[in-house]
Amino acid sequence: MPNPMISRYWPQYKWSNVLSMIKNMKVQPKRCEASFQNRLAVITGATSGVGYHTARKFASMGARIIMINRNAEKSELVRKELSEAFGTSVEYITADLSVLADMQRAGRELAALERPIDALIHNAGIHLAKRRLTSDGFEENFALHYLAPLVINALLTEKFKHDKAGRIIFVSSEAYRFAVWGLRLDDLQWERRRYSGIKGYGSGKVAQLLSMHLLARDLEPYGVTVNAMHPGMVRTDSGKDNGKFYKWYKRNVIDKYSASPELSAEALYYLSAASELSRTSGVFFHLTTEEELAPPARDIAAAEALRDKTAELLKEKGVTL
């Protein structure tokens, strides 16, 4: 079935957007030396890769940390390592953020905190070569990249409004561009189309970016900022559960030419702590360089339609945001 969004987005595409992305790949991230002493950072997916190095960076700057991770044993090892190395408070919530019940439980635990959340970094992610459904029946990219942050943010909205402070950051990806014609609201779970790993990943990231715009708009009057960033081409465990060819390609090509995730951690810390960004919201950054999004990821009408469709899907599961 033809995608009706082609005629909508095709006239909006421009080569300068792509050229800017290529140019930004060569720009080193800005760094921030400001302390985060006794301020709270919440980071999802913090036992490896970008999340781990981000937690380590924040801990080194005096932050109190709450990690949200799937694996309790790995979480305890990271907690012990960081608290001993930097003498700061490190805690964790064990939750599988592809599961609705765990998304809700994590969100409620954070909402019950008496202190403000100064930085909330939605980092947990996945890359799949084949379509895979969660226990709730959602395509896993859709669940982990889009639904999990959405549910957690919804449960924290009143807290952020009350505290009138905080920065929310989505760890996104330039791979959102592979969803060239945006989302198919009539097939968000890839039931009617042949699944593509890169397109599925891109679609999850487009959905995430669309939700960023609406959340930024809702929280702007309360002094809370909401942004997204591409973490650069860095070595991570993403795709470790894929097939043999992808593992070989990742090990011998992707990782060989990728930088350390410490690069991403520096960028995330800058976006979370730099005073000059205290009022910047609804922006996509390539590391720390502001970048215009491609048409499908800046479509507010599509964002609102996705919000309504998501509410229907969640209601079917007995969840109301």
**Identity (one letter) of the amino acid at 268?**
L
What are 40's strand-pairing partners?
64
CA neighbor of 58 nearest in space, from 50, 171, 28: 50
Distance of alpha carbon 280 from alpha carbon 225, whole angstroms: 6
pLDDT confidence bin for 260, thresholds 50/70/90? confident
> What does the pLDDT average to over 167-185?
96
User: For residue 5, what pLDDT is reported?
Assistant: 78
* Beta strands 284-286; 289-291: pairing state: antiparallel
Token pair 């792509």 in the structure block, residue: 18
What percentage of residues in the chain have a pLDDT greater than 70?
A: 91
CATH number, domain 6-316: 3.40.50.720
pLDDT 10s digits, 264-312: 999 999 999 999 999 999 999 999 999 999 999 999 999 999 999 999 9
- What percent of the chain shows pLDDT beyond 90? 87
What's the confidence (pLDDT) of residue 255?
53
- Strand ranges (DSSP E) for 105-191? 119-122, 167-171
Instruction: Please give the pLDDT value at position 196.
Output: 94
- pLDDT, tens digit (0-9, with 9 covering 90-100), for 42-99: 999 999 999 999 999 999 999 999 999 999 999 999 999 999 999 999 999 999 999 9
Q: What is the pLDDT of residue 245?
A: 41
Domain ranges for the chain: 6-316
